[in-house]
Amino acid sequence: MTSFDLTGTSEPWVVCVPEGTAEVRRQQSELTAKDGQVHHFDARDLVTAQGVLHAFAETLRFPSCFGWNWDALVDCLDDLCGEVTGGGAGIAGVVHDADHLLQTEHFPLFVSVLCQGADRANSAVDLDGDPLDRPAVPEHFIIEFRDFNLEEIAACIEQPDLIITTGHGFVGAALNPEEWH
């Protein structure tokens, strides 16, 4: 794969890019022009697992019943609606200064969790293949690095449950269908 589309419902779900990538900015503008929403996260707030959960719950307005664990984060990312997604037009979450995350123990799991939530949100069927009572919602996450090293990032997030792709100036991640579907 050599491209990504933040406005559609196709993989990759997580895209790692150099900070200020023009194509990402263009696609974010296209998403907001369609009434989609772009939400921003500072990686310094995400250096602990609890920090990730808190930042996402606050920024994406998770319900009060949020379970404060990785599985609950997946569930809430799957169930985003209303203003958070532009009424279903789509959502892009942008993590800035991600260099702070590369050496954290939870970074590979964090990428997997984002992929799990986005995979479910971008689907119009549930895990059993039954139709959902909502259309698929475009949901993607962009992780921006000041010091972008394609090989280092790909190696850091590589794990059996993900398929890692690389293209000109980006690393993409999506769920491995042999592990998840």
Q: What is the CA radius of gyration of the chain?
A: 15
**What would the pLDDT profile of 119-140 be if each residue is shown by its tens digit?**
988 887 776 778 777 788 899 9
* pLDDT over 90 percentage in the chain: 78
* φ, ψ for residue 14, nearest 5 deg: -120, 130
Residue 109: is it exposed, middle or buried by C-beta count within 10 angstroms (0-12/13-18/19+)?
middle
**Span 101-112, mean pLDDT?**
96
pTM: 0.93
Give the pairing of strands 14-18 and 139-145. parallel
**What would the pLDDT profile of 44-92 be if each residue is shown by its tens digit?**
999 999 999 999 999 999 999 999 999 999 999 988 766 667 677 899 9
Write down the pLDDT at residue 141.
98
Q: In degrees, to the nearest 5, what angle opens at C-alpha 95 toward C-alphas 72 and 64?
A: 30
Q: Which of the four pLDDT bands, split at 50, 70 and 90, describes residue 16?
A: very high
- Quote the CA–CA distance of 33 and 24 in Å, as a whole number: 14
